[in-house]
Copies of this chain bind each other. A is one copy, B any other.
């Protein structure tokens, strides 16, 4: 017990392999599980739909699921950021629709080259987000209201941009459409990716272990790092193998997951991310600690709208067209719901970008499963509602266990 962080005699030392299991059981009972309950909810949904239609878990459907999740999932990443601040953005749907419209009009009517059009679409989002941030911080207008106004205003702008003709079809041979619909990792690349992910994980962990040991802090064993890396590689490779039975890992879902991993790194491992959590947890404390709260706000809103714009571009690419309905209907609700279902709090300071991933998969799985079964609209609505409550109840019950055991 010579480590600086292991001196307190009340600390229960849980490094022995036997204790690890006991620890897991205790964590299960106390509900201190992070993403596990959502994942369990997801697995339950999958099993149920599989029982009703075995094609649900076919490679083809899972590939489809990954493609379907990526567009709104990308928007949801931005929503997680905003929720972490304890704010909300109701306008992501309109912003994604507007950016899609900008893309389509520049590309098709004005003949801009693709990269320039994409850049312009993303910039639309960026500018809108910065506007929100400024309004929110300078005038103190609640984000609910500004973004509600944005929802309307940018829907208007979308209609204006599209003009009288409405729907614009993107050129079929565009690289963007190929990216969103036809680009998949070749099998060898997918396995290489699995190994690369495992290796990066292992090296990062090894470095942490070394540095902790050097700082005289307790550190997990190298063996555990090896085991975890191997399990990680195996898991990714398994997923890759199964998806490769059909078309494989799509470029668009890959981009989505990559963005999530990247944002998770930014949030957990950089000063900016730390400040986002601090402002979300206690804005006044953050201000008193000398954090530039306004800058954090503006950066988060800008990122959120940019992700919304990116989602709009991807949605346009996937649908191969942009119309007045783009970004409409349930886009907002789905994007926000995914984040919340994944476990991000609406009150700020608690959550992770992975909630966008799992929350979106839950929502999309329900949709996809019901599509396969093919039921009347009213049944579909009712079942979606029911399954949603069930999936989240698993999560909530475990959280409640945590609370009553005093650790939350």
Contact indicator B385/A149 (Cβ below 8 Å): yes
Q: Which of A352-408 contact B (CB under 8 A)?
A: 377-386, 388-389, 392-393, 396-397, 399-400, 403
Residue A302 at the B interface, CB < 8 A? no
Q: Which of B140, B149, B388 contacts A388 (CB 8 A)?
A: B149
Which of A154-162, A226-234, A290-298 contacts the other chain? A154-162
Given contacts A156-B380, A340-B142, A346-B144, contact A151 B385 (CB under 8 A): yes
A145 contacts which chain B residues (CB < 8 A)? 337, 340-341, 388-389, 392
Residue A347 at the B interface, CB < 8 A? yes
A255 contacts which chain B residues (CB < 8 A)? none
Contact indicator A156/B377 (Cβ below 8 Å): yes
A397 contacts which chain B residues (CB < 8 A)? 139-140
Q: Which of B135, B337, B384 contacts A389 (CB 8 A)?
A: B135
Contact indicator A142/B346 (Cβ below 8 Å): yes
Minimum CB–CB distance from A98 to chain B (whole Å) comes to: 11
Assembly CA distance A333 to B397 (angstroms): 29
Contact indicator B152/A388 (Cβ below 8 Å): yes
**Interface size class, chain A:** 35 or more
Contact indicator B142/A392 (Cβ below 8 Å): yes
Centre residue among A142, A341, A400 by max chain B CB count within 10 A: A142
Residue A153 at the B interface, CB < 8 A? yes
For the complex with contacts A141-B389, A153-B386, A160-B378, 14 further pairs of A-B residues with Cβ separation under 8 Å are: A86-B347, A88-B346, A140-B400, A141-B396, A142-B346, A144-B337, A144-B340, A145-B337, A148-B333, A148-B385, A149-B385, A154-B385, A156-B382, A160-B382
A381 contacts which chain B residues (CB < 8 A)? 152-153, 155-157, 159
A303 contacts which chain B residues (CB < 8 A)? none
Contact with B along A145-178 (1 / 0, CB 8 A): 1101111111111111000000000000000000
Assembly CA distance A178 to B221 (angstroms): 78
Residue of B nearest to A156 (CB): B381
Assembly CA distance A145 to B384 (angstroms): 12
Residue of B nearest to A152 (CB): B385
- Closest 9 A/B residue pairs (Cβ): A153-B385, A156-B381, A156-B382, A152-B385, A159-B378, A149-B385, A156-B378, A149-B388, A140-B400
